[in-house]
A and B are shown apart, each in its own frame.
Chain A
């Protein structure tokens, strides 16, 4: 067996063991915004996220009021924020996204 075949085998076993825990993903949140909300809200995800500070988004999440606060930021998206899919599937990714681009995040756009 050549060296790189051994490396490949060891890597597959090793990486498989390391695994990874399910994580919320800001990039996924950004895509969800573009796909589901951009045309409904009428502005970019950066504008939407900058409607609140990181603390405000965080407080809304902790209080279980993320959908409510997001509806205030984008009233036209009420149906989406009230949906069970938002609560089960999208909210954690969208939260990561708005937290990354909140008004006090200090993030600088790339282009």
Chain B
């Protein structure tokens, strides 16, 4: 037994000796490794602190991280603020001075040496997806101070000019329509649209209004606000910049029974009728220099006179449903007359001709006649650099209208009546001056209208022959300052 214990003791002492050698080797190895790790750490920290590139980069990364955090916070705030805010707004504010003078047949001149107006348009736009657009505009156009204009106005709810005539400070709806464009990438993109549009500031009238981009209707026969539906087809003729629009709408709704009456939204006067229209504006060719446009318009149930309707309330016997009307115009603008000459390159020349034909129904008269009458008009203009300022332009225009000339220009083109509808001769000169880029501009404009027949402001049922008390001339001087952004 003792032998056994002795043997075990010898074996274990030998094993312990053998293990202690290995442990010692391991300790040395660990020590070596620790020293190497320390060396490496030392070197790494030396590299980090001493290498200028790495230090700069590290600082930049830290700054960027901070910036990113701040941006994320700001973005979250912006997102919260703009959530469901789906309309972009723009402003067009104009304040104007107007001086007016009228010559009267066998009467004294009538003048108003100062009419001041404010006009504010707030534009709206949104487009949730590519190809679908909503646009709108509310407008307030008022004279400075109160007035008694509505007291003498026989018309109510006149949608075709509601926001285009200086009146009170009430906001009115000037535009609200959607446009949906399909096959957008095709050469013949088609757009459909419906709602309310301002067909004022149309093609060629933009110069005299100091506006760069004209609307699509031809201003020679159209200046009104319309409620209508439209289809537009691009590039119809394969000609540069061509398109055609088909517009159908209603300018007068034959209703006078209010919602609380026994027969709401009807008219018990069976001789009256609604007035509907069809308009086809066409861009025939537009290469940026030469722009040729044309338009045909048909109006059904137009106003005229029915002698049976003459009363104290309606002394002219004016009534809708008196007949139909056809109108047409063709206008050419040359923007840039000679590329090699700066003056001519910055000048614009335009010319336009138009007709209007009234076709009265049996038992009615239009323009004082029971027969069909046609009026003609000619309009030309030249706009050139003013040679005094860098971006200012001076424009000269001339209009002629014959006896039965009666276009749809019931929105305002001058405060003193429609210059374009003049039956006789009209002369105009204006100076458009950008003051601060496109954001702040001014205009000084003088218009002289020499009437050979009635001034054709709204009396489209009346005989155009001048009577005592009618205006034989009208003059307007306008100065405006305009802010657009």
Contact = CB atoms under 8 A, between A and B. Distances in A.
B207 to A, nearest CB: 13
Contacts of A15: 392, 431, 433, 442, 444
A18 B442 contact: yes
A111 B288 contact: no
Contacts of A25: 391, 438
Contacts of B179: 111
B444 A12 contact: yes
A30 B366 CA distance: 44
Interface stretch (A34-42, A62-70, A75-83): A34-42
A35 B216 CA distance: 19
A84 B391 CA distance: 23
Given A4-B113, A34-B286, A18 B433 contact: yes
A111 B289 CA distance: 20
Contacts of A108: 88, 125-127, 133, 135
Nearest to A39: B240
B287 A35 contact: yes
Pick the most buried of A20, A36, A106: most chain B CB atoms within 10 A of its CB.
Answer: A20
A31 B88 contact: no
A38 B213 contact: no
Interface residues of A, number: 31
A20 B392 contact: yes
Contact of B133 (A3, A11, A34, A109): A109
Interface string B272-316: 000000000000001111000000000000000000000000000
A33 to B, nearest CB: 7
A18 B435 CA distance: 7
A52 B437 CA distance: 24
Contacts of A106: 88
A58 B397 CA distance: 40
Nearest to A36: B288
A39 B285 CA distance: 13
Interface in A1-52: 2-4, 7-8, 11-12, 15-16, 18-23, 25-27, 31-36, 38-39
Nearest to B124: A108
Nearest to A4: B99
B53 interface: no
B472 to A, nearest CB: 19
Nearest to A32: B288
Contacts of B288: 31-36, 38
A108 B133 CA distance: 7
A31 B444 CA distance: 26
B114 interface: yes
B434 interface: yes
A11 B444 CA distance: 7
Interface string B424-465: 000000010111111000101010000000000000000000
Contacts of A32: 288
A25 B212 CA distance: 10
A38 B240 contact: yes
A23 B135 contact: no
A8 B446 CA distance: 9
A2 B113 contact: yes
B409 interface: no
B169 interface: no
Interface string B113-143: 1100000000001110000010100000000
B127 A23 contact: no
Nearest to B342: A89
B113 to A, nearest CB: 4
Interface of A: 2-4, 7-8, 11-12, 15-16, 18-23, 25-27, 31-36, 38-39, 106, 108-111
Interface of B: 88, 97, 99, 101, 111, 113-114, 125-127, 133, 135, 179, 191, 193, 212-213, 216, 232, 240-241, 286-289, 335-336, 388-392, 431, 433-438, 442, 444, 446, 477, 479
Given A34-B241, A108-B88, 16 more contacts: A3-B113, A4-B101, A7-B97, A15-B392, A16-B388, A18-B433, A20-B389, A21-B390, A22-B391, A23-B390, A23-B434, A27-B438, A106-B88, A108-B125, A108-B133, A109-B133
The 9 closest A-B pairs by CB, nearest first: A4-B99, A35-B288, A34-B288, A3-B113, A22-B390, A108-B125, A4-B477, A27-B212, A31-B288
27 contacts: A3-B114, A4-B99, A7-B97, A8-B479, A12-B431, A12-B444, A15-B392, A15-B444, A16-B389, A18-B433, A18-B435, A20-B391, A20-B436, A21-B390, A23-B390, A26-B438, A31-B289, A31-B335, A34-B288, A35-B287, A38-B287, A38-B288, A39-B240, A106-B88, A108-B125, A108-B133, A111-B232
